[in-house]
Amino acid sequence: ITSPLYKEVYDLTTGECVSDPSYSIKVYPVEVRDGDVYLKTA
């Protein structure tokens, strides 16, 4: 995923910023069931 404002590129499987390793985002387990997307946030 890319941040157009800050020009950063993130790997959604790890949360690491590809363009600047000092940044990262939180990742969550995802499950798709019957076309619905479920995120485990807790």
The predicted pLDDT at position 42 comes to 82
Tell if the pTM clears 0.75, that is, is over it: no
Taken in order 3, 9, 17, 12, the sign of the CA dihedral is positive
Residue ranges for the chain with pLDDT beneath 70:
none
Distances, alpha carbon 22 to alpha carbons 19, 28, 35, in Å: 9, 20, 35
Contact 8, 2 (CB under 8 A): yes
Distances, alpha carbon 41 to alpha carbons 12, 13, 17, in Å: 15, 15, 21
CATH architecture of 1-42: 3-layer Sandwich (2.102)
* Domain extent listing, the chain: 1-42
